[in-house]
Amino acid sequence: MATHRAAWSTWATQGTPPFVLGPDSVPEITDESEVARQPALATVSAIVQSESKNITAILDIVARGMRSFDRATAKYCCEFLEVGLENTSAKETWRELEKMVATYFPGRGTLFEEAYLEGEAKGKAEARAALILRVLEKHGIPVPENTRERITSCTDLDTLIHWFDRSLTATTAEDLFAEDREIPESGPEQT
């Protein structure tokens, strides 16, 4: 019986060259209806074309085209574009155009994230101010309107913590603002 040996050789059946996205391979999207039809391409195009002399017009078209997106898509594309523009001069132009959408890229300092964090800090300040007023109320301490305004308009969290600590032992509302007495550095005077 004859034994057949198969001769195996290694053949390349497919070769895939890398595809690099760049200004030469991604078209400038300058038609608002194209943005509406292909939001992902429009977003990537604006990132890739960030150094184009037409970038302001491109970003304007992208922003206007995003008006047709559902809210979630618009928010995502806006923020993705802002993150993708990184440190280019186009980023500031985009930040002015995108003022409409929540954050999908936490920690990246996007416009939406900054707005969210400002709102969060404002909420914390309001809550601390309310606690200070509540403590004073529970201690039966009257709070004049100008003092109430000073407390509720303060946005510095450290100051509010300091005032809260003072509210625990205050006998008047003005005690919150009393300066800490300092001991003179030279010590007691000698006669």
Q: Show pLDDT as tens, one digit a residue, over the chain (191 residues).
A: 555 555 555 666 777 888 788 888 888 988 888 988 888 899 999 999 999 999 999 998 998 888 788 878 888 888 899 999 988 989 988 887 876 544 555 566 677 667 766 777 788 889 999 999 999 999 999 999 999 999 999 988 899 999 999 999 999 999 999 874 443 444 444 44
Q: Answer whether 95's CB lies under 8 Å from 59's CB.
A: no
* 125, 132 Cβ separation under 8 angstroms: no
Residue spans per domain, the chain: 32-101, 113-177
DSSP string, 19-82: ----TTTS-----HHHHHH-HHHHHHHHHHTTTSTTHHHHHHHHHHHGGGS-HHHHHHHHHHHH
Distance CA(66)–CA(88), nearest Å, equals 21
User: How far, in Å, CA of 16 to CA of 38, rounded?
Assistant: 25
- Please report, for residues 81, 118, 152, the alpha-carbon distance to residue 101 in angstroms, rounded to integers and kept in the order given: 13, 15, 29
Of 44, 54, 119, 124, nearest to 76 (Cα)?
A: 44
